Amino acid sequence: MTHPTFVVTDFETTGHAPKEKDRIIHASFVIIENKTITYQYTSFFNPERSIPPFIEELTGISDEMVKNAPFFHEAAKDILPLLDGAVFVAHNVLFDLQFLQGELERAGYSPFTGPAVDTVELARIIWPTSDSFKLGDLTKGLGLVHDRPHQADSDAYVTAQMLIMMIEKLEQMPLATLEKLGRLAVGLKSDAYVLIQAIIEEKQHHVEQLPSHLEVYRGLALRKKEVKEREKAHSHSFSYPKEESEKEALFSAFPRFERRSGQWRMMDLIYDSMRTSVHLAVEAGTGTGKSIGYLLPAIYESKRTGEPVIVSTHTVILQQQLLKNDMEKLKQLLPFSVTSAVLKGRSHYIDLYKFSERLKEPQDNYDYVLAKMQILIWLLETETGDVDELNLSSGGELFWNEIRQDGDYMNKGRKAWLDKDFYIYAKKQAQQADIVITNHSFLASDLTAQSSVFPSYSHVIIDEAHHFERVARERLGLFMDQVAYKQLLGRLGTYEQEELVVQIDELLAKYEQPLNKDEQLGMNRQLQQLHFESDEWFKTLHTFFSRHTKKRAGHWSKRQVRLTSKVRSLADWQPVEYGAERLDELLTEVEGWMRRKEEALNPFWEQMSAAEQAKVDQFKELIHQWKHYQLMLERLIFRPEEDEVIWMEGDSRSLANTFAIRSSPLEAGGLIKEALLDKKHVVFTSATLTVNGSFQFFTEESGLSACEHQAVTLPSPFDFQKNCRMVIPDDVPEIKHVPQDEYVEALANYLTVIAESAKGRMLVLFTAFDMMKKTYELIRESGLLEEYILLAQGITNGSRTRLTRNFQRFDKAILFGTNSFWEGIDVPGEDLSCLVMVRLPFSPPDEPFIEAKSEKLEERGGNPFSDYSLPQAVLRFKQGFGRLIRSSTDRGMIIVFDRRIQTSAYGRTFLQSIPDIPIEEASLDETALIVENWLQLSEE
């Protein structure tokens, strides 16, 4: 087929602002004709100004290199023929195009008026599951050689190669998908429709033969799904390998097989635990290989019983690792077939009926258009329909909320898609699986559901188990947020708005149900009053909240206030209750009206079209959510339960968008025991379950202490004595003895010196966001680490995964993190050589749950600090410690600025809870020398 001619371009420039005299210093134009690179033009240009130092460092282009280069206007005669009649392409095309237009204007030429295609935008659509759309990340994932990033010729050439791969992928797509993409593409920012339309026109001239793995159903092209039946146990091949020789024979097939005695012991412990049904807690140190350690015995037990074993994790990352890496290894290793499945909450899965209906609607905003195009291509690839596979923009996530599954309603539209339904498919897969992988949140919610979504099971393995009690507590609590409540009212609307209230009446009128105008007017007044009272009530809540909260330690804008009986007795609480009473009355009246409307529609269900039935199901779901909000209002405001903590929270920068009222049971252990431990056999495992060698804190919090159980620690096989050491600076001021600004200044000074000794490769963990922010800004503004890449959670752009990836990409990088960065990030090897802990990770004592938990412990005669705050901090400290040494060859240094680890009576609890390593106190100069010598030694 004949494609347009593409000119793929990349420019290196003196900066980002062509209107402020920034100029092109290096340009490359790659010509593609019929999917073949036919020519490349590259040249340096004299920008008639000096090149800034950061640009020189980034690109390697110096003033000397461009001093004798031509001016752009001199080379324009060679460049213009390349652009003539071509499609202009670049990675972030608007950047390059504005520089091209500026240079053409200065040279006295007309601007480029042809179509322009952005390969960032195109990559988002064509590879919708990619973690990153940066050029370097994409080319690495595609296996393209890109050894000189930020050099125009190299960047342009790999972008051209990437464009050819995109064209080839589009050509392989079904016409049904391409035609939908073509209609949507006119809503993109760049002119990708030119490319898509050319492929459509060519496809229309040939009879289409779909690949065997695809099908077109009701105009939507999908990947076919097949439920694999589990192999039944019927031979000696299912006998668990008890002897070491049997394990060795099995595992020797692994590439780079490495005997791990801790892993093998873990397998035996778990298999014996499953056979005896005695609960087990296993702390498996870093490097034990715990995933394989529990999966192998779980598979054999599943084969023996014919029932799946449930594996629950906290993070999506670990779920993917188990499914894509560990289970695949075991499937190749074992002499029988093994099936595995992932099962999550309903809202993770796409509703194909909703999506197909949304495709028929007029063009949406840009984010919705992009999301629709991403999903169309994803449906050609996904076997799960799980949103966690997709990389959507924040606007795309809003679109997902409109097309995700949200109920069991089976209208005509949904029935038509029943055989293609991803959630039903996931449940069928789980029924046939040996191992079912899920997450803590879904498992916890399923425990309290009226009927379980999981297939019948007897055994559950809970990995990342140190999170399970907290997640269960959060799932058992209530959460009423202002934004979701206002959205609920907005979906019903008033009679002045074209929302459900009007649509349902129109439906009733269609089926000749008499509409009482007086009733409609009365209900409209009620709805208007409800909107007004809701606004007034939230204003009252905001006033109360602002009056009774102060800045929380470590969070300069996040605030919380606990709703104790003392707080509820304050005079200004009364308006909150009065407003809630008025709201409750109006909500009840409107709910009664909605139920009457629902009952009036029921007799006409079979006569309705698929779209009408879907509308009625939306109405039913709204009534269900409406009732839920009424119950929450009653519980949170009027009838709090004993052993429950309730609080308000919000961000003072944007209170209306963040305000919520939450509740949580003070203890989830009893509920976990009743719902899970008394009914199923459970294995808990994590790298951090013990405090000073004891499981007591974990077993009490999880409910395990009230059950028969075994608890075992399997130490890490790594040589920490040899490969790790800790330094505690002795010349940093105590934070409690000096103003915070003075402390931050000293900290920034210390970190700057250490960073230079470590040559970057440093992770700095904070417990407070505001201290991290001030430290980061002070270091950045000092200019002392100009050649270093500074990355900070919540400040520099990107998710935790993206920040971690960027940290690994640059040699001289420093990563600042709080909260979630204390665990879950995995940076093996030399990319992370120095770990800094600014403070011991105690939770703020004024945090509502901690405060209420402490009071409860005191009532029982316990010690809140030693019984709760300390063990919780130690477990988090152990998680932070675990970031440094991730393999047997890793070497690293830990610097702890909090001198309490040495000077306090409880400090030894932290030190005795981690592997035995050399520890010394040192001054700033000594610390810098220790770091430098230690890391030099590791390089040798």
* Amino acid 803: pLDDT: 74
pLDDT per position as a tens digit, 671-690 = 999 999 999 999 999 999 99
pTM assigned to the model = 0.88
329 has binding-site annotation: no
pLDDT per position as a tens digit, 355-388 = 999 999 887 799 999 999 999 999 999 999 999 8
Task: Kindly report the backbone phi and psi dihedral angles of residue 397, in degrees, each rounded to the nearest multiple of 5, phi listed first.
Answer: -65, -35
* Higher-scoring residue by pLDDT: 692, 406: 692
Task: Of 142, 146, 167, 169, give the one whose Cα is nearest residue 156.
Answer: 146
177 has binding-site annotation: no
Residues 371 and 396: beta-carbon distance below 8 Å: yes
The pLDDT-based confidence of 234 (bands split at 50, 70, 90) is low
Segment 848-877 mean pLDDT: 95
824 pLDDT more than 80? no
Q: List the strands of the sheet with 660-665, edge to edge.
A: 479-481, 660-665, 644-651, 558-562
90 pLDDT more than 70? yes
What the block records as the tokens of 531 is 């909107």
* Amino acid 145: pLDDT: 83
287 has binding-site annotation: yes
* Higher-scoring residue by pLDDT: 939, 7: 7
Give the percent of the chain with pLDDT over 90.
64
pLDDT per position as a tens digit, 742-752 = 999 999 999 99
284 has binding-site annotation: yes
DSSP structural state of residue 552: B
Task: Of 261, 319, 259, give the one whose Cα is nearest residue 295.
Answer: 319
669 has binding-site annotation: no
Q: List the strands of the sheet with 309-313, edge to edge.
A: 340-342, 435-439, 309-313, 459-462, 681-686, 279-284, 709-714
Average the pLDDT over each of 121-125, 194-198, 306-310, 558-562 and give the range with the smallest value. 558-562
556 pLDDT more than 70? no
- Nearest-5° Cα angle at 379, 376 to 385: 125
Spell out a b/e string for 449-483, using b for 16 or more CB atoms within 10 Å of the CB, else e.
Answer: eeeebbbebbbbbbbbbbbbbbbbbbbbbbebbbe
The pLDDT-based confidence of 867 (bands split at 50, 70, 90) is very high
Segment 562-589 mean pLDDT: 95
Segment 722-727 mean pLDDT: 92
* Amino acid 830: pLDDT: 63
The pLDDT-based confidence of 795 (bands split at 50, 70, 90) is confident
* Amino acid 650: pLDDT: 92
Task: Kindly report the backbone phi and psi dihedral angles of residue 681, in degrees, each rounded to the nearest multiple of 5, phi listed first.
Answer: -90, 130
114 has binding-site annotation: no
The pLDDT-based confidence of 829 (bands split at 50, 70, 90) is low
Task: Kindly report the backbone phi and psi dihedral angles of residue 107, in degrees, each rounded to the nearest multiple of 5, phi listed first.
Answer: -85, -5
* Amino acid 890: pLDDT: 83
* Amino acid 901: pLDDT: 94
892 has binding-site annotation: no
Q: List the strands of the sheet with 24-33, edge to edge.
A: 36-44, 24-33, 6-13, 87-90, 116-118
Segment 135-151 mean pLDDT: 85
Separation of first and last alpha carbons in the chain: 57
Q: What is the 3-state secondary structure (H, E, C) of 176-231?
A: HHHHHHHHHHCCCCCCHHHHHHHHHHHHCCCCCCCCCCEEEECCEEEECCCCCCCC
Hey, which residues does 562 pair with through a beta bridge? 647
Segment 24-34 mean pLDDT: 94
* Amino acid 229: pLDDT: 79
* Amino acid 514: pLDDT: 73
Segment 496-516 mean pLDDT: 85
CA gap 701, 686 in Å, rounded: 15
- Show the domains of the chain with their CATH numbers: 6-208 (3.30.420.10), 241-340+669-714 (3.40.50), 479-665 (no CATH), 720-939 (3.40.50.300)
DSSP structural state of residue 904: S
Task: Of 356, 384, 385, 432, give the one whose Cα is nearest residue 180.
Answer: 356
The pLDDT-based confidence of 833 (bands split at 50, 70, 90) is confident
225 has binding-site annotation: no
Task: Of 844, 809, 845, 837, give the one whose Cα is nearest residue 821.
Answer: 837
